[in-house]
Amino acid sequence: MQDDGCTFSMKRRDLLRMIGMSAGAAAMYQAMSSLGMAAESNFKGHPQLQGAPKNTTVLILGAGIAGMVAAYELRQAGYKVQVLEYNHRPGGRNWSLRGGDRYTELGGFTQHCQFDEGLYLNPGPWRLPHHHHGILSYCRKLGIPLEPFVQVNHNAYVHSAKAFGGKPQRYRTVNADYRGHVAELLAKSTQQGKLDAQVSKEDQEILLESLRDWGALDKNLAYATNMESSNRRGFDKDPGGGLSARPVPSKPIALDELLDSRLWGALSQGEIYEFQTTLFQPVGGMGRVGEAFGKALDGVIRYGAKVTAIQQDEHGVTATYEDAAKPGTALKAHGDWCICTIPLSVLSQIPMNVSALMTEAISAVPYAASVKVGLQFKRRFWEEDEHIYGGITYTDLPIVNIGYPSAGFHSSGKGVLLGAYIWGLHAFEFTAMTPQQRVQKALEYGSQIHPQYKQEFETGVAVGWHRSPFTMGCFGLWSDESRAKHYDNLCQIDGRIALAGEHASYLPAWQEGAVTSALDVVERIHQRAVAEARS
């Protein structure tokens, strides 16, 4: 496969999705780890930076999570810090679109978000895994309240336009039926002696007992229509009270029909390390993290500063930038050291005198294509009509999934769904549309799952990340080959310049990658600064 920007970013997520559908969560996680997309955080705590040289200055480019973590820690240690940020807000990709916000993308399309108060879309990150200790530690340190993020909801849907006449199926029914049929097949193989060479007689008895429990099998080790299976997949008529209390068991989907539907491919999603319970979200939107950092760094960040050149010499680093309020102006900011967190997709277009090895590394990492669409509805019909409280519905339609809000349960009034979270080829197709066309397409596809869309829809916003002027893509896509050749060169301190961000980590696309990358760079810059002061 050619490793260029378009082909690479179109293929990567599609490949992982195919691995997950055909081989399950374990294989998909292994592939993600190999590709640098899933790994345990190496956060070991906040750095203890002792003996910062007096009056030493650090210039930080970018007020995303990496830039603000670096600024926070260096200022705490006694360094004089200045941050230049392209946007008029802190956070970078840590961002929530709320009512009243305006967003202009490349190409000139401007969206005016008209969500009701308290409602939002997270165009970038939207969940915090429990083992991403670095970003969670800053949430504690900055007093950012968190609440559970519902990843797996057994009452949400799995859907294929090509199966069951396009009718969505509850996650719980597909999950129960898949497990039940697999358990029955394995139990029969065990009874027929086909596992004698692999499993002792004693262990076979234990295996059968476990399969009976795991798959809700009956006394004959069959997955059948009865109370046991219905207690997993749901009843045709739920148990109740009084004369009409008797429940009616439901009939499992036939094995061949279930396999052909390929809906089982969605069952592994909650098993992936990053998606395992418990996950969190900031109360009020992911942008609360960036906003809290911005408040803590009040007076340190200069907003509306578009960096146009970066030059270093033996004495320090100078960034030339344009003030958004005065286009055409050429202003300068200087630091003894520089930590640059600008996404590589943008940085590759900015003149910077670093080594040939770092220059090559910066240009070697393409960025993923992704689109998110937020849809506001007149009422929370997914709760009122379908009893879906949080979680995700998966579909083979181009919108890929629908995310339900994990907060505000049973609240009256309106709500916002993540109406699409698109990757690969479809992301490029949606990015080429106008924002309004993206919203309309999300409505068209989503109404195949929720017919209420057409009647209940009010307003929407749609962010195509390759049209984002401050990132020009979603996140850095590494391959094994590019990591082996370029990763260390990207992360080395080059003269007086060091890079940080999710692209300089083994956790790309995650804020934890940005945090741990920044902390690593901060410690190395500190060591260099102290050594220079002593020499």
- Residue 41: the pLDDT is 80
DSSP state of 487: I
Tokens at residue 11, please?
């293929």
- Residue 535: the pLDDT is 85
Residue with tokens 């849907």: 157
* pLDDT tens-digit map of 113-138: 999 999 999 999 999 999 999 999 99
Residue with tokens 């146009």: 308
CA 75/CA 52 separation, integer angstroms: 10
- Residue 20: the pLDDT is 44
Which domains does the chain carry? 1-35+96-163+266-287+368-474 (3.90.660.10), 36-84+301-365+478-534 (3.50.50.60), 170-261 (1.20.1440.240)
- Residue 18: the pLDDT is 46
How many Cα atoms are found within 13 Å in the side-chain-facing hemisphere of 146?
A: 21
pTM over 0.75, yes/no: yes
Tokens at residue 384, please?
């009122």
Residue 306 phi/psi, 5-degree rounding, is: -95, 110
- Residue 38: the pLDDT is 52
Peptide bond into 278 cis (omega under 30): yes
- Residue 129: the pLDDT is 97
Handedness of CA 220, 223, 226, 232 (dihedral sign): positive
Residue with tokens 């219905």: 230
DSSP-derived 3-state class of residue 124: coil
CA dihedral 292, 91, 87, 520 (to 10 degrees): 120
Tokens at residue 41, please?
């955080």
**Please, which residues have CB within 8 angstroms of residue 65's CB and are 6 or more apart in sequence?**
91, 92, 93, 94, 135, 289, 290, 293, 511, 514, 515, 518
Tokens at residue 515, please?
């945090």
- Residue 42: the pLDDT is 82
- Residue 45: the pLDDT is 86
Q: Which portions of the chain are predicted below pLDDT 70?
A: 1-40
Tokens at residue 467, please?
């049209």
* pLDDT tens-digit map of 294-329: 999 999 999 999 999 999 999 999 999 999 989 888
Write the DSSP assignment of 128-176 as a string of letters.
EETT-HHHHHHHHHTT--EEEE----TTSEEE-TTSGGG--EEHHHHHH
Rounded (5°) CA angle 468-472-478: 140
